[in-house]
Amino acid sequence: MKPEYDFSNAVRGKFYRPNAKFTMPVYLDDQILEFFTVQAELRGVELSDLLNDVLREDMVQLEAQR
């Protein structure tokens, strides 16, 4: 690194986006990823769509258990 940087022409907040949406990554075990990848291909749907549907069903079941 340089001992000193010149910020005299810098613009504060140039890349700030107040409405930016950040999505956290989800890491799946290899076995789970392989299973759902095959299932998505068999059904002709996107992997993310299939996983979202499965998780929505689980959400309903978990809410019903309260």
Whole-model pTM: value is 0.66
Tens digit of pLDDT for each residue in 22-55?
A: 899 999 999 999 999 999 999 999 999 999 999 9
DSSP state of 3: S
pLDDT of res. 11: 95
- Indicate the SS3 state at residue 64: helix
* pLDDT for the residue numbered 46: 97
Q: In this structure, is residue 6 part of a structural domain?
A: no
Task: Give the structural domain span for 61.
Answer: 13-66
Question: Domain of 52: which CATH number?
Answer: 1.10.1220
User: Where does the pLDDT of residue 18 fall: very low under 50, low under 70, confident under 90, or very high at 90 and above?
Assistant: very high
Number of domains in the chain: 1
Determine the residue type at 66.
R
The answer to whether position 17 is within a domain reads yes
Those residues whose C-beta lies under 8 Å from the C-beta of residue 28, and which sit 6 or more positions away, are 36
Within-domain flag for 1 = no
Q: What is the pLDDT of residue 53?
A: 98
Q: Would residue 4 count as lying in a domain? A: no
Instruction: Please indicate, yes or no, if residue 53 is contained in any of the structural domains.
Output: yes
